[in-house]
Structure 1
Amino acid sequence: MDDHSHEPDPEKRVTAPMQEFGGREVGIGAAVTLIGLLLAYVLPALLI
Protein backbone atom coordinates (compact mmCIF):
# COMPACT_ATOMS: atom_id res chain seq x y z
CA MET A 1 0.00 0.00 0.00
CA ASP A 2 1.39 3.39 -0.98
CA ASP A 3 1.60 6.19 1.56
CA HIS A 4 0.15 9.34 -0.03
CA SER A 5 0.28 11.42 3.13
CA HIS A 6 1.55 14.99 2.94
CA GLU A 7 3.03 14.68 6.42
CA PRO A 8 6.70 13.66 6.65
CA ASP A 9 5.81 11.08 9.32
CA PRO A 10 2.10 10.98 10.25
CA GLU A 11 2.83 8.87 13.34
CA LYS A 12 4.89 11.70 14.89
CA ARG A 13 2.37 14.49 14.21
CA VAL A 14 1.20 16.33 17.33
CA THR A 15 -2.21 17.96 17.49
CA ALA A 16 -3.24 20.80 19.81
CA PRO A 17 -5.14 18.73 22.43
CA MET A 18 -2.07 16.57 22.89
CA GLN A 19 0.35 19.43 23.56
CA GLU A 20 1.18 20.40 27.11
CA PHE A 21 0.41 23.86 28.42
CA GLY A 22 1.65 25.74 31.45
CA GLY A 23 0.48 28.28 33.96
CA ARG A 24 1.06 31.18 31.57
CA GLU A 25 -1.44 29.78 29.06
CA VAL A 26 -3.96 29.09 31.84
CA GLY A 27 -3.59 32.67 33.07
CA ILE A 28 -4.10 34.10 29.58
CA GLY A 29 -7.19 31.94 29.09
CA ALA A 30 -8.62 33.01 32.45
CA ALA A 31 -7.99 36.70 31.65
CA VAL A 32 -9.66 36.39 28.23
CA THR A 33 -12.63 34.62 29.81
CA LEU A 34 -12.97 37.28 32.50
CA ILE A 35 -12.84 40.13 29.98
CA GLY A 36 -15.42 38.36 27.81
CA LEU A 37 -17.77 37.88 30.75
CA LEU A 38 -17.39 41.51 31.76
CA LEU A 39 -18.19 42.68 28.24
CA ALA A 40 -21.10 40.28 27.83
CA TYR A 41 -22.84 40.70 31.20
CA VAL A 42 -21.49 43.53 33.36
CA LEU A 43 -21.21 46.27 30.72
CA PRO A 44 -24.81 45.84 29.44
CA ALA A 45 -26.10 45.79 33.04
CA LEU A 46 -24.34 49.08 33.74
CA LEU A 47 -25.83 50.71 30.63
CA ILE A 48 -29.45 49.96 31.62
Structure 2
Amino acid sequence: MKSAVSPYSKYLHDYDDKPPIFLIVGAVLGIISGLVGIISVIQEWIHGLIT
Protein backbone atom coordinates (compact mmCIF):
# COMPACT_ATOMS: atom_id res chain seq x y z
CA MET A 1 0.00 0.00 0.00
CA LYS A 2 2.84 2.36 0.83
CA SER A 3 4.49 1.80 -2.57
CA ALA A 4 1.26 2.88 -4.30
CA VAL A 5 1.23 6.18 -2.41
CA SER A 6 4.94 7.00 -2.63
CA PRO A 7 4.88 8.29 -6.25
CA TYR A 8 2.24 10.82 -5.21
CA SER A 9 3.87 11.85 -1.94
CA LYS A 10 6.26 14.13 -3.86
CA TYR A 11 3.34 15.94 -5.48
CA LEU A 12 1.54 16.22 -2.17
CA HIS A 13 4.67 17.67 -0.60
CA ASP A 14 5.02 20.18 -3.46
CA TYR A 15 1.36 21.10 -3.05
CA ASP A 16 1.99 22.04 0.58
CA ASP A 17 4.64 24.56 -0.47
CA LYS A 18 2.53 26.23 -3.15
CA PRO A 19 -0.57 28.41 -2.74
CA PRO A 20 -3.88 26.63 -3.31
CA ILE A 21 -4.90 26.14 -6.92
CA PHE A 22 -8.23 27.93 -6.50
CA LEU A 23 -6.49 31.12 -5.36
CA ILE A 24 -4.35 31.09 -8.52
CA VAL A 25 -7.39 30.42 -10.69
CA GLY A 26 -9.34 33.17 -8.95
CA ALA A 27 -6.53 35.67 -9.48
CA VAL A 28 -6.25 34.75 -13.16
CA LEU A 29 -10.01 35.07 -13.65
CA GLY A 30 -9.95 38.45 -11.91
CA ILE A 31 -7.16 39.70 -14.16
CA ILE A 32 -8.93 38.44 -17.29
CA SER A 33 -12.23 40.05 -16.30
CA GLY A 34 -10.41 43.32 -15.59
CA LEU A 35 -8.73 43.23 -19.01
CA VAL A 36 -12.06 42.51 -20.70
CA GLY A 37 -13.60 45.48 -18.89
CA ILE A 38 -10.76 47.79 -19.95
CA ILE A 39 -10.97 46.61 -23.57
CA SER A 40 -14.73 47.18 -23.66
CA VAL A 41 -14.28 50.70 -22.25
CA ILE A 42 -11.63 51.47 -24.90
CA GLN A 43 -13.88 50.12 -27.65
CA GLU A 44 -16.76 52.30 -26.44
CA TRP A 45 -14.43 55.31 -26.32
CA ILE A 46 -13.19 54.69 -29.89
CA HIS A 47 -16.78 54.17 -31.05
CA GLY A 48 -17.69 57.50 -29.45
CA LEU A 49 -14.80 59.24 -31.24
CA ILE A 50 -15.78 57.82 -34.64
CA THR A 51 -19.47 58.68 -34.44
TM-score, scaled to structure 2: 0.44
The structure, 1 or 2, with the larger RCO (C-alpha pairs under 8 Å, 6+ apart) is 1
Bigger share in helix: 2
TM-score, scaled to structure 1: 0.47
Greater Rg over alpha carbons, structure: 2
